[in-house]
Structure 1
């Protein structure tokens, strides 16, 4: 967990701070202090870069505030220290159910008439209890029919989606929540000027939640379960927990619950869970962003002081018995093979937990770990890595590997275990520990600018420790830097024995799948324009309007010219990190081999340095490079500490100019590419993307524009090395974001990376012709899955950046409407979306896309529901105002900063625009009416032919149903991928 989720542990210091070796007591500079301000006492940790304040209100509620004024927004998390661990054995999945229901409102909002709605909801509660106890299937169906009927009546008084509308109206973004083994967290991102509205809504949300519109939400959870049954990665994850924890609820309770428990929910048990665990002493609020903490704590106290302090149950697990012999688990499914080896670790915030974390980085850090150098760099496997997840009671150290062509999972397992043996024998350089700490500090210095990262880290600490050991979290890397090689070796020999589980994910049919069957559900009314008096009150709370800030490219950046080459500059005034980019106006559409040359480079050395030496050199100075080849552009990036700028750029320059061919590396790379291509044909998301591209362009399309397998096999080392050597001979711009002054930075780049006067012209760019969407058709690809995924595709009008106002409001409104109708009213899918997609390129038409993923036996209802909304746009004045307000707030609070200023400048430059186009969008928003988006829908969506692409199992979908929607063309994987 620490390796994946740590963010904020390094205080900004002077250049060279990374190289310091901490003293014998690295914890000493991180001490708790207590301060009283504005009538409230809070604690903080000295030298904490996030400057987080920890308050405990009189009722026990924890409040954690971290100020970051980079943008006028606030990341808000409300966490409960209860997840699937706390589920009763007889009702697994209950915490997750409750998470869904906390979006349904209370007796004050989410209802148009609580007095009339209440008795029907009480009746539904009772019916579910009878339903749970009944075993006769016919009687169960009759009871469910009564639940369905009563739910339909109750829904007439409900205001569906009112929470989401209120959040959208105040400019909230990223409304979401998640449940895990020991937590449930509710997530928002709100404008700082809307905090009063936000707190008023949240305090009511947790006062007396009402479990309304339950049976359609229950069906959404069924859909979520079925999606998990189709997800091989989720099955591997479940197997990892179950083998590591045969006793603890980590492994015995799945977060989403068992099929049997999903079929028999108890609203009374859910209410009991809420009453037990949603109490102030078990809850925490984290805010990170632009606000005054002295003012905000008063508002939070005023909003949540009604919560009464009371005791809550604690989960006290039995200790797990040691694993004394390898536990083997086979998982089957259609996706690519992999192996995962797992060791049970100690609880979070223990010395052994830290050592496990450090060993995972010694093995795998992306550049200089043993797995990185011995397996990935040597291409002995398709890919390998290691990580640690740590929780309150235990942790998991795990390694994962993907086999090459012709390689067995057992062979990959042996290679992974062999690397552990090297750690046990001490076959790694002691200096690697220092490099690991330095690189993690660099990562955390970058993440410090991000409110999401700050808030997540603080909330994670609250979930595991109630925030009480924040001092240890802040000191974490300093303490790690004091670990010696001997301690690591001693730990490895003590920790790694035959005490592991190995999970083999094999290709094949999973015969254990038993999907959650759909019940008969009558669509419920959604009362699109109903509004509770409480919601009207929230809307009436004044919000502080935030003045938008538009880019002024003449002030926010500089364009210098050196020997005819453009140098784009913007300063970093926050820390000592630089980011340097070489930007090419060409990509894979110009040269298919560019992608493969960029991959090949990571395995090459020079006449003086091996590939491994180069990786170690970059890692030692906490710098990195990357070559990103897009379809029309290519970007080389070099980043790291400013003090190491010259060394990093010189290292990369030397590698590009003096890279030497390596025939063995190329042979291995070809094999891995061909294996990766084979694996790609098992990836559902990739197949669906290929179908959509096929729908837009036909058989020859951007998705499959690539070298054939035969062309890959015939690539030569000389060809690819020549591509690399020619990289600097192609015209490119230089982009710099960093602490150096513009002239100094430009001079430094010119010295290390001199401009030329005779650049080689770009190869001609491949152009694709979009197909006219002038008739209905269905493209179908067969895939072994429980669900079916459908995407509607249509090519639309030309791109115009000045149409963004109506498009953005329409997309916000239409997306909300789809969710409300497809999911909340009709319970047809867990996931649905739809939008008008702008191409961002004047040479490419915009497109329309809509998506539904549902059970295969809901195919007809799901497609009919989407087709209805594509034809007729339901009108909701309240929904429109919320969508419009959301887009306005988004523009007012959006801040384009750092290197993003330079990339935005280049994007607009290609369109022939010299000013920030968002200003025009903002000015066009005010006069927009619902009539404008109705007209937009009528012109672009309604009555238009679409290509429907369908991914599903031919065993579960009737071709006759597809044929009703248009002529069906079956598209093979070879046609989609081009190989």
Structure 2
């Protein structure tokens, strides 16, 4: 373990009361392999910062723990720099960077270019034409010529190259001032990855444009159904009336999306996608001396250009509170925003700490005074730091019977407490201790390292300040926070009331007529072949041996499962009791109740503070079959944390006020769930799986909730601790020391309580097509196909993995390529077999399309066609199999993941790591096997269609064509 990581740990102490010893952090320069770089002393991430001759920033953070590399190519440009006449441009350029160049993505670039030039000219004509009839004529020409151009294109070659090299998480994202392209690649494929990226940004071609733009339309329409996004955009538009943070949105306006300009897209690319405005950030298992030379060679062709800095006028002060209102189907909420200086202002560090003092999840002012005391359903605050401005962002939700105005008064009351200094200075020390703990975790993960370095780059932050972050926080005094609060948090806020009701009619983007384009999925460009043929030595897979990787012991009649932490001094201890909600559906209530209870010596708030002070925590959670107590934190505070928890369990005192408040919050949560389309879709799916009485609505009635007493809930939790248990531990303490310690600290009953039998649910058998529909005020339609299959069979593991990868489990799959890429019918779509969690459970086929309501019928036809007749693309199957092998080669199950992999295997009745079976068998899978699986499980089978949408847009007559129609009420779905 690196010295710097050791330092971070040892300064964290349960009795940490004084300012931490300051560690020196300075920029230094060094040279290796002919390249000069900068680094920060005592940086736990050991990051090297290079600037190549053309201005390209390269940030390398090597760590050999996993044979993988998290890679980002980041551009310091986003919606802030979109032209005012073409908002959303940075975002849809991001989409187009997946379409290839003149070297890949094309069968015949010379012929394709002729057609693409015609499309360019037609779009410019389209944008300047106002007559709707003429616009439709022009669009038909665009659609027609796009069809011709697509015959020369090969869709999705980027994703295929990344899949072939074993990449994971291939994606991109755009925000206010960053566009970032992300891949997680095997270490052995780094040369392939860099070859592809260097080509990707050389000469991107805007091919298959109108179908991809339709995917962006879909993304926009989804945002029109999202009340949370509306609140966010309203808040920023009101706070920033002279800055593009508020003047423009990342997705853009409907009008601009309807009128894209390929000329403007290229102009944007040529302006901002220049090396002096870009960064390559890598963290993982590599030699930085070798990698920097490769990057220099690959990206040396790029030429720097001056990038004009975004300028803006100062915002007018907000002299009095500004209130806005959003109405929509989601639950009520309150959002408040205060405008702050940008992220490089001297007060930015104070702003971060103010956010933590207000809410840190456990011991902040909002946490303790509003959530812990159950005055609100939820409340939080955080600092949203951007380059030019920041926002102190509050959100809160009412409990039963509360108005949003009352919620606002409570939140503002805690801001006043902050301004008056009504909080312990000790809280600052506790926050810093907990941040130190999180920094230990961050430096351990190659993915977290790369993410932190990338964010600092695009946010234009000095990495030295990031490394010194904790030490700099340690210098802040309570008086500094009070002064900050009084300076920035007055009557100068924007408040957005999100009320429940019928949303005003949105300006929805109408569906254009699009002819499906050719994707040529069975073709391959010479560039792709060259990349695939590059040598790469695969990593050797590492499989678990449960007998060797897990140590076992006994404490009384409880089994202890142990995995050592050899990296740092953090521990996670779990007591896993053999009782869950299937035994008692009110057990979750009892688990919730614990957090609001004190003991005979401490209040609930004092207990929370005590845990937070020593950078530890405890949590009680209940699932279907198990109730789990988790205690985690610093090993040096292990005994103190366990004692605190055991004291709570032994001496918890009933609190009737807390119970009544919790009942009110649960009643409100239940009401809110009925307004949440994600919860409704989950309920519909459970109904399709099990019938009217199912796992989702296996819950207590409102009458049962009201009748429950404090004593009953405490008795339930105490009974849990009398049931059989398994103790799980991941940490640095030796097993014999752990067991000796727990024997003293954790009483285990000599005889165990047998819980009530678990309720069982039998999956329905789909004998004919059915339609389950629930009405929801939305622009989109959410459609799932559900079919229950046979019981678990470990011998099916390999064929199912191969089928899922090939058919509908990712961006290279048949489902995604057909429904989104070729036919532009959905932003999101998938189709795969869901594996059971227990040996007696069944597999399930689950498919999904989220589309505009006016595309619903086409989308259903397209999915049904794939479920009935599966295209056979042998190269795609080989690619799917290759990805499975490469994923297994580089996957490392570590830490307490080992314990849960073992427990999950036991639930399935197997005693070995099933990945080894898949790895050894997947090469033998043939298209004949995939076809047989598809035909026997999917083709010409009845399905239950789960559909969530608006009755105004989806009529029962239309839905009844799919199968026997049943409209379900929220009461039927939720059980209350």
TM surpasses 0.5: yes
| 1:824-863 alignment runs, 5 A limit | 824-863=821-860
> 2:608, 2:21 → 1: CA distance?
32
SS in 1 for 2:303: coil
Instruction: Give 1:16 shift.
Output: 4.2
1:10 and 1:474 in contact (8 A); partners too: no
> 2:899, 2:148 → 1: CA distance?
56
> 2:366, 2:767 → 1: CA distance?
52
SS in 2 for 1:704: coil
Q: 2:174 aligns with which of 179, 184, 189?
A: 179
Which moves more between the two structures, 149-158 or 729-738? 729-738
2:362 and 2:368 in contact (8 A); partners too: yes
Q: 1:153 aligns with which of 148, 156, 167?
A: 148
The answer to whether residue 639 in structure 2 is matched with residue 646 in structure 1 is yes
2:12 and 2:433 in contact (8 A); partners too: no
Q: Partner residue of 1:878?
A: 875
The answer to whether residue 812 in structure 2 is matched with residue 814 in structure 1 is no
| 1:321-720 alignment runs, 5 A limit | 321-465=316-460, 469-720=462-713
Instruction: Give 1:23 shift.
Output: 6.8
Question: Residue deviations 1:576-597, cap 9 Å, x none?
Answer: 1011010123211011121001
TM-score by length of 1: 0.98
Q: 1:919 aligns with which of 916, 924, 927?
A: 916
The answer to whether residue 776 in structure 2 is matched with residue 795 in structure 1 is no
Instruction: Give 1:43 shift.
Output: 0.9
> 2:123, 2:272 → 1: CA distance?
22
SS in 2 for 1:746: helix
Question: How many residue pairs are counted as aligned between the two chains?
Answer: 969
Q: Partner residue of 2:240?
A: 245
Q: 1:189 aligns with which of 179, 184, 187?
A: 184
Question: Residue deviations 1:409-437, cap 9 Å, x none?
Answer: 01100100010111111111111111011
SS in 1 for 2:158: helix
| 1:43-54 alignment runs, 5 A limit | 43-54=38-49
> 1:499, 1:832 → 2: CA distance?
44
Q: Partner residue of 2:136?
A: 141
SS in 2 for 1:702: coil
1:584 and 1:635 in contact (8 A); partners too: yes
1:21 and 1:481 in contact (8 A); partners too: no
Q: Partner residue of 1:15?
A: 10
SS in 2 for 1:679: helix
Q: Partner residue of 1:34?
A: 29
2:522 and 2:876 in contact (8 A); partners too: yes
Q: 1:212 aligns with which of 191, 207, 218?
A: 207
> 2:706, 2:408 → 1: CA distance?
28
> 1:331, 1:359 → 2: CA distance?
28
SS in 2 for 1:428: coil
1:228 and 1:234 in contact (8 A); partners too: yes
> 1:800, 1:612 → 2: CA distance?
49
> 1:370, 1:952 → 2: CA distance?
40
> 1:526, 1:84 → 2: CA distance?
30
Instruction: Give 1:725 shift.
Output: 2.2
1:59 and 1:281 in contact (8 A); partners too: yes
> 1:934, 1:885 → 2: CA distance?
18
> Where does structure 1 lack aligned partners over 5 or more consecutive residues?
1-7
Instruction: Give 1:553 shift.
Output: 2.0
SS in 2 for 1:926: helix
The answer to whether residue 53 in structure 2 is matched with residue 64 in structure 1 is no
> 1:384, 1:801 → 2: CA distance?
45
SS in 2 for 1:97: helix
C-alpha change, 1:423 and 1:100, in structure 2 (3 Å) is: same
SS in 2 for 1:766: coil
2:318 and 2:492 in contact (8 A); partners too: yes
Instruction: Give 1:21 shift.
Output: 7.2
The answer to whether residue 143 in structure 2 is matched with residue 112 in structure 1 is no
Q: Partner residue of 2:216?
A: 221
> 2:236, 2:470 → 1: CA distance?
27
Question: Residue deviations 1:120-177, cap 9 Å, x none?
Answer: 0000000000000000000000000000000000000000111111111111111110
The answer to whether residue 922 in structure 2 is matched with residue 929 in structure 1 is no
Which moves more between the two structures, 555-564 or 172-181? 555-564
SS in 2 for 1:490: helix
SS in 1 for 2:696: helix
> 1:351, 1:10 → 2: CA distance?
28
Q: Partner residue of 1:3?
A: none
The answer to whether residue 759 in structure 2 is matched with residue 759 in structure 1 is no
Q: 1:281 aligns with which of 256, 266, 276?
A: 276
Question: Residue deviations 1:212-249, cap 9 Å, x none?
Answer: 00000011111100000000011111112111111110
Question: Residue deviations 1:757-785, cap 9 Å, x none?
Answer: 21111221010010111111111100000
2:8 and 2:436 in contact (8 A); partners too: no
The answer to whether residue 785 in structure 2 is matched with residue 782 in structure 1 is no
SS in 2 for 1:291: coil
Instruction: Give 1:20 shift.
Output: 5.9
Instruction: Give 1:9 shift.
Output: 10
Instruction: Give 1:24 shift.
Output: 10
2:563 and 2:895 in contact (8 A); partners too: yes
Instruction: Give 1:14 shift.
Output: 5.0
Instruction: Give 1:300 shift.
Output: 1.2
1:658 and 1:725 in contact (8 A); partners too: no
Q: Partner residue of 1:724?
A: 717
Question: Residue deviations 1:610-656, cap 9 Å, x none?
Answer: 10110000000000011121111221110000110000000000101
Over the residues paired in the alignment, what is the CA RMSD in angstroms?
A: 1.4
> 1:880, 1:283 → 2: CA distance?
36
> 1:17, 1:442 → 2: CA distance?
8
Q: 1:231 aligns with which of 204, 207, 226?
A: 226
Q: Partner residue of 1:893?
A: 890
2:328 and 2:499 in contact (8 A); partners too: yes
Question: Residue deviations 1:714-773, cap 9 Å, x none?
Answer: 111110011122232111011111111110011111110033321111221010010111
Which moves more between the two structures, 261-270 or 47-56? 47-56
